[in-house]
Chains A and B, each alone.
Chain A
Amino acid sequence: MVPTRREFLIIAGLSTIGVACPPLARIISAKTGTPSARNISPVAPVIAPALTAKRWGMAVDVRKCPDGCRDCIDACHLTHNVPDFGNPKDEIKWIWQERFEDVFPAENHPYIREALKKRPLLVLCNHCDNPPCVRVCPTGATFKRADGIVMMDYHRCIGCKICLAACPYGARSINFRNPRPFIRQLNPDFPTRSKGVIEKCNFCEERLSRGMLPACVMACPEKALVFGDVENPRSIVRQLLDRKFSIRRRAELGTKPQVYYIL
């Protein structure tokens, strides 16, 4: 018997709902944005013991940065296959230098000492404790780990760029083009990214998992970058913060950034 148009539409609608039910059930029962790897059982790693922390943080001792030095930037961008597109529009940077008046506009005033006015300050992702970028990401492609690192899942990112808009620090970049041809020297130990996804500093989580400190920290000739567990009072970063006064960028926004500047 030939169904009437009404009957056909009702059957089609119910079938669509029936097909949609399993994914809906999975969505409703899944944890927000984080799928579970059901088949993996935690076991002792085969590689060098990973560095772990309750909460990773970094202190930037600005006084120690030599003029014209870019060792940390070069090390980071080399280690992570960060491309150089050669123009500021498409630029990708994970760590770079800005002037004091731009990094700390609220603390700036006309009588700041000259040395500080002229000194380039390092800026990078602050791996905030209350990150607005994580809050706005529609797919959970950027998420906060238990140890505080704000991660990027390049496989999940749809390239909507809302995280670039939400970041109060301008720490994120998007691949406006295919980056492969623009990587001067490929590091085989780290993947590249594809066009259309967002990237930023990842506190070298892949190095931490192999028992190594971040590339920028290791590259600095003056040990101006101090990295460690800010929740461990005996870590070197906490010891430094105990000795010296430190400030954070735009802390009044409540993002709880974990990069501390000693000026």
Chain B
Amino acid sequence: MLEKALTGSRRYGIWMAILLTLFGMGVFFYLRQLDYGLGITGMSRDVSWGLYIAQFTFLVGIAASAVMLVLPYYLHDYKAFGKITVLGEFLAIAAVIMCMTFIFVNLGQPARVLYVFLYPSLTSVLFWDMVVLSVYLLLNIVSGWTVLSSDKKGIPPPAWVKPLIYLSIPWAISIHTMTAFIYAGMPGRSFWLTAIMAPRFLAAAFASGPALLILFCLVLKRFGGFDAGKEAIQAMAKIVAYALVTSIFFVLVELWTVFYGQIPEHMEHYRFLFAGLEGYDTIANWMSVSIVCALAALVLLIVPRTRKKEPVLAVACVAVFLSLWIEKGLGLLVTGFVPSPLGHITRYTPTGPEVAIAIGVWALGFLIITVLYKVFIAVRKAD
């Protein structure tokens, strides 16, 4: 079926050419990073994770969000999602590949990446995260591809796919919980050492993932001639709304614990996140954007009149995505490192090469998603 991605309109060709150029740029700068070392990025001894791991953290959520389509359809027979579960699974494939690539470009010795599987340390959450991510990738490739090719042949999917799809439901929860455990298990980083980290991650995932899916569905309707259906899109929008409310609520409860409890070290991190410390307020400024976007999106999504107008819904989804990309990306990441364990404030700014590599990985993700969705459209059109 992949051959269907090799032909397309002029617009498709231009889009792919742009993505390939961005990806090529990313590869070029990654080769420079391999040559110079990780010092080519803005990471430092104090802020030792940056843009790459921020993108990884956010994208694991996007990958997990496929469950929001799979669960209602396969467990509760919600027919409206029947046509689009494959879209969710394909998004998960692209997102997981992006996650793994972001981890790869973050490594100081990438040639040794397979040591994680050759010399596994069973107490390491990062090891288990790699395992569950790899299995999740396989689950989605196998189930998504099989369901789509059965669709193409006009027959129901084979029986063995069902258990795999059922497995992918708790597995999706597990990948994002594992990633949250990476952060929530570090005794020295009080900003991250909170039990609500995993629930926060999941709430944000279930808001940002379906928001992205809605945008993709609207794009596919406009450019691909595929209509997911009003009911499916509205259902996803309601999921985004509820998940966003939950995510905001989780942040508010964190603020209560920190500022009513008045432990200085805990408060310092949140002061940095929302107001800045010692003049370093870049993250705080980004967070203002995040808050405005989240609140605006919340209103637009809750009020039925605005939610039902697809152009407005699109704006709301972009706002949700942007808001959570900031909050669950660099907002979460840099704040864990500022102040440092020795109380120092070290500024972090991603460098040009670092941004270029990150854009290259996003381009790779979009390349994969474009190819997969192109195949999807071609198969559905043939019906």
Contact = CB atoms under 8 A, between A and B. Distances in A.
**A–B contact (CB under 8 angstroms):** yes
A140 B123 CA distance: 9
Interface stretch (A70-78, A152-160, A209-217): A152-160
B125 interface: yes
B121 interface: yes
A157 to B, nearest CB: 6
Interface stretch (B246-254, B285-293, B341-349): B341-349
A132 B49 CA distance: 17
Contact of B121 (A88, A139, A195, A250): A139
Interface residues of B, number: 49
Contact of A165 (B38, B119, B336, B344): B336
Interface string B225-261: 0000000000000000000000000000000000000
Given A91-B45, A156-B119, A195 B108 contact: yes
Contact of B45 (A32, A103, A169, A173): A173
Given A89-B39, A140-B121, A105 B343 contact: yes
B127 interface: yes
B77 interface: no
A258 interface: no
Given A90-B45, A162-B182, A176-B43, A102 B342 contact: yes
Interface in B6-53: 36-39, 42-46, 48-49
B107 A159 contact: yes
Among B36, B120, B124, residue most surrounded by chain A Cβ atoms (within 10 Å): B124
Contacts of A27: 117-118, 120
A174 interface: yes
Given A156-B119, A196-B109, A170 B340 contact: yes
Nearest to B46: A170
B106 to A, nearest CB: 7
Contacts of B126: 136, 138, 160, 162
A194 to B, nearest CB: 8
Chain A: interface secondary structure?
A: loop
A140 to B, nearest CB: 4
B78 interface: no
Contacts of A176: 37-39, 43-44
B121 A137 contact: yes
Contacts of B38: 159, 174, 176, 195-196
Interface in A115-169: 123, 132, 134-141, 156-162, 164-169
Nearest to A159: B108
A103 B342 CA distance: 6
Given A89-B45, A176-B38, A23 B188 contact: no
A139 B187 contact: no
B186 interface: yes
Contact of A139 (B43, B115, B264, B340): B115
Contacts of A33: 119-122
A134 B121 CA distance: 9
Given A132-B187, A138-B121, A169-B188, A196 B116 contact: no
Contacts of A88: 44-45, 346
Given A27-B118, A102-B342, A103-B342, A165 B112 contact: no
Contact of A161 (B49, B122, B123): B49
Given A89-B42, A138-B120, A161-B48, 14 more contacts: A35-B119, A88-B44, A89-B39, A137-B124, A138-B127, A139-B119, A158-B113, A165-B49, A168-B186, A174-B38, A176-B44, A177-B39, A197-B108, A253-B187
Interface of B: 36-39, 42-46, 48-49, 103, 106-110, 112-113, 115-127, 130, 182, 185-189, 264-265, 336-337, 340-344, 346
**What are the 7 closest A-B residue pairs judged by CB atoms, nearest first?**
A159-B108, A168-B188, A196-B108, A176-B39, A195-B37, A164-B48, A89-B44
